[in-house]
Amino acid sequence: MLSTWDNNEYRKNEYLDIVWKDCYKLNKEHFYHIGAKETNRKPMIEALITNYKTINKQDIDNQSEKRTIQLDIFADFNDE
């Protein structure tokens, strides 16, 4: 697993397409909150490179929704 930068407004990390082209990539946008001027603090796309397929957040959220169903074992008794 490797964490590196993917791209920003000005440039792209060419090594992702050369060295790690056979790997899986997850991206996350974030900001660096440091810099001489606030106007220089632009968003950066971070890349997480893996050699295995990952589960995306939407799949995890969908699984969580399915797991949160609460069964009521006393449902039949509440109606009486």
| Structural domain boundaries enclosing 26 | 2-78
DSSP characters over 4-67: EEEEESS-B-THHHHTSTTSEEEEEEEE----SSGGG--EEEEEEEESS----HHHHHHHHHHH
| Number of structural domains found in the chain | 1
Tokens of 75: 């449902």
pLDDT tens for each residue of 9-46: 899 999 999 999 999 998 998 877 776 787 777 888 99
pLDDT tens for each residue of 48-71: 999 988 876 665 555 555 555 555
**3 state SS of 3:** strand
Rounded distance, CA 70 to CA 52, Å? 33
CA distances from 54 to 13, 26, 58 (A): 21, 8, 12
